[in-house]
């Protein structure tokens, strides 16, 4: 059940009224039932996988607490739980990739091995809810949160329908207390959540889906294109993936807010970052902080030599790339970000650029750093979107060979009107993010007269519906596949 469908609108409306009309002590049942219905709407077969993940992590956390002061036993139980919980993700997402890679390597050394592909369908959201369960186990081990004894309420944490498909990746200490907290209907909070949900819908349908046609035209037919086609398609993809993913996150946070739940903020104007490190403090925040807390810091973080710190960073980014998909293109994309951040750190250390000095940089210097960071991030997105390493390398070789704008538009089947529409969408997005960097623009809407707000809602709704009906290139949210 995609957020951008009429089915979800009906579902969300029904859940909203059922939840707020139900007495507090029974509301958890409404949410749990809604989670189950939402998830099986994709495929009921997925239910068994998520139930195993829930049971394994739930029981493991309880066993950890029962070990009292037996440190070694607690660590053994924790490690076992993490391995068991991760095993389903490894099987469904990476087994075929591992078999394919092994076969390729052996064949390269003249050792015959047939390439085998198992018919496995990756359950929706498995990368997200698995990381939530793993984080929960580790947090119980570290004493950051208590093990939940009520299985139904723990199941709500793992399967909460707004964020199960594509995050944000919640933390138990932040989310679970909200289940038992008695909520009083807050009109302003509900309206804000509805606005956030609708903003995400606009990002998805009005901007991201409009760019899909041209991005797919190039990246799915790489040998037929050249030069500026790749540059333009990469730029469009840079904004497509941002609007698609941040749009989903807005809708997830908005839907949760309408039910009185507060989810982790996942995006904060990432393309305004002045460095790769800052970009990851603004992009997919719940994932970057998850890797920081459960991979980078356990590896030693920066509490070690500079060489070891650099290795820890690179490993973390490579893992982050692999998390996005079972393909070497994702690993390379993660590696690019890791290497760039290592170089960035070394340069700052060499010139003595501390955090305080960085904040004090002049406006033009900050703008230059932002543009450089944006170019690096956009270039890396090209590897992320490419269907294979060989196609990515072809794009690299061909990107700067021919910059005929007319020829590029013809190849991408873009009219002058299409160029204007996509360019306008990018400009409006940048303006909105600029304004939102300083003030919460959704709250600022309250300053407008009611009639003006209502007219804006109607106009936006008509635009979304018209584009939804006429857009044959609309697709599911990009991060569903991860």
Indicate the pLDDT class of residue 408, thresholds 50, 70 and 90: low
Residues 454, 353: one domain? yes
Q: Is 409 found in the same domain as 388?
A: yes
And the tokens for 194? Answer: 């509805």
Of 69-78, 396-405, 449-458, which gets the smallest average pLDDT?
396-405
pLDDT average, residue stretch 360-365: 86
Alpha helices in 325-404 (DSSP H): 328-351, 355-359, 363-385, 389-398
- DSSP helix/strand/coil, 42: coil
pLDDT band, very low/low/confident/very high, at 151 (cuts 50, 70, 90) = very high
Residues 220 and 367 in one domain: yes
| Residue 1 within a domain | no
The sign one gets for the Cα dihedral 105, 106, 110, 116 is: negative
Active site residue 324: yes
Last residue of a domain, one of 132, 159, 184: 184
Q: What is the predicted pLDDT for the residue at 32?
A: 96
User: For residue 284, what are the domain limits?
Assistant: 189-481
pLDDT category at 88 given cuts 50, 70, 90 is very high
Tell me how far CA of residue 46 lies from CA of 38, 40, 42, in angstroms.
Answer: 11, 7, 8
Instruction: Write out pLDDT tens, residues 270-320.
Output: 999 999 999 999 999 999 999 999 999 999 988 888 899 999 999 999 999
Quote the pLDDT of residue 423. 86
Per mean pLDDT, which range of 9-23, 372-386, 432-446 is the poorest?
A: 432-446
Whether the Cβ atoms of residue 124 and residue 480 lie closer than 8 Å to each other? yes
Predicted local distance difference test score (pLDDT) of residue 280: 96
> 228 and 403 in contact (C-beta within 8 Å)?
yes
Boundary residue ending a domain (184, 201, 232) = 184
CB-count burial class (<10 Å; 0-12, 13-18, 19+) for 176 = buried
Give CA 279 to chain center in angstroms. 14
Q: Exposed (0-12), middle (13-18) or buried (19+): which is 173, by Cβ within 10 Å?
A: middle
Whether 377 has a pLDDT exceeding 90, the answer reads yes
- pLDDT exceeds cutoff 70 at 400: yes
pLDDT tens across 208-247, in order? Answer: 988 888 898 889 988 888 778 888 889 999 999 999 999 9
CA distances (Å), origin 407, targets 180, 224, 418? 61, 12, 15
CA-closest candidate to residue 106, choices 116, 94, 114? 114
Domain identity same for 193 and 270: yes
Phi, psi of 472 (to 5 degrees): -85, -5
Task: Name the residue among 331, 307, 304 with its Cα closest to residue 318.
Answer: 331
Main-chain phi, psi angles of 196, to 5 degrees: -65, -40
Which one from 24, 150, 284, 324 is the annotated catalytic residue?
Answer: 324
pLDDT value of position 370: 94
More confident residue, 325 or 336: 336
> Domain total for the chain?
2
CB atoms within 10 A of CB 439: 9
Per DSSP, the three-state class of 260 is coil
- The tally of CA atoms less than 13 A away on the side-chain side of residue 304 is 14
pLDDT at residue 406 is higher than 70:
no
Q: What is the CA radius of gyration of the chain?
A: 23
170 and 199, same domain (yes or no): no
Percentage with pLDDT > 90 across the chain:
58
Q: Do residue 358 and residue 434 come from a single domain?
A: yes
Last residue of a domain, one of 137, 160, 184: 184
């Amino acid at each position: 059940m995609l957020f951008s469908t009429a089915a979800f609108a009906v579902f969300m409306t029904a859940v909203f009224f059922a939840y707020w009309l139900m007495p507090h002590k029974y509301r958890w049942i409404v949410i749990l039932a809604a989670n189950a219905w939402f998830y099986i709407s994709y495929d009921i077969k997925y239910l068994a996988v998520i139930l195993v993940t829930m049971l394994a992590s739930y029981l493991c956390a309880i066993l950890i607490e029962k070990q009292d002061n037996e440190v070694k036993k607690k660590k053994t139980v924790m490690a076992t739980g993490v391995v068991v919980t991760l095993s389903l993700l490894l099987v469904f997402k990476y087994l075929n990739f591992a078999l394919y890679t092994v076969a390729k390597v052996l064949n390269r050394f003249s050792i015959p091995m047939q390439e085998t592909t198992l018919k496995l369908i990756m359950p929706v959201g498995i990368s997200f809810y698995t990381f939530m369960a793993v984080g929960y186990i580790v947090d119980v081990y570290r004493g950051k949160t208590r093990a939940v004894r009520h299985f139904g309420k723990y199941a709500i944490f793992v399967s909460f329908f707004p964020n199960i498909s594509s995050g944000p990746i919640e933390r138990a200490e932040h989310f679970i207390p909200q289940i038992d907290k008695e909520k009083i209907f807050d009109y302003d909070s509900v309206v804000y959540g509805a606005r956030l949900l609708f903003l995400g819908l606009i990002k998805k349908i009005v901007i991201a889906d409009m760019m899909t046609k041209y991005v797919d035209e190039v990246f799915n037919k790489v040998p037929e294109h050249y030069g500026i086609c790749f540059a333009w398609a990469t730029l469009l993809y840079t904004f497509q993936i941002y609007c698609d993913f941040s749009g989903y996150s807005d809708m997830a946070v908005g839907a949760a807010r309408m039910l009185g739940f507060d989810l982790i903020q996942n995006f904060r104007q990432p393309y305004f970052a002045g460095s790769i490190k800052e970009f990851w403090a603004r992009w997919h925040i719940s994932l970057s902080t998850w890797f920081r807390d459960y991979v980078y810091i356990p590896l030693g973080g920066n509490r070690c030599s500079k060489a070891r710190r650099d290795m820890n960073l690179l490993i973390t980014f490579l893992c982050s790339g692999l998390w996005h998909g079972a393909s070497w293109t994702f690993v390379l994309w993660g590696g690019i970000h890791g290497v760039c951040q290592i170089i960035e750190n070394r340069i700052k250390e060499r010139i003595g650029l501390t955090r305080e000095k960085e904040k004090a940089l002049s406006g033009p210097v900050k703008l230059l750093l932002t543009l450089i960071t944006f170019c690096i991030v956009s270039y890396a997105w090209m590897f992320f979107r490419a269907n294979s390493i060989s196609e990515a390398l072809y794009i690299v070789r061909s990107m700067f060979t021919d910059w005929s704008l007319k020829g590029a538009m013809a190849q991408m089947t873009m009219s002058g009107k299409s160029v204007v529409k996509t360019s306008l969408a990018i400009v409006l997005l940048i303006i909105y993010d600029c304004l939102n960097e300083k003030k919460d623009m959704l709250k600022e809407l309250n300053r407008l007269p009611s009639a003006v707000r209502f007219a804006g809602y109607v106009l936006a709704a008509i635009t979304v519906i018209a584009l939804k009906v006429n857009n044959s290139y609309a697709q599911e949210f990009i991060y569903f596949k991860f």
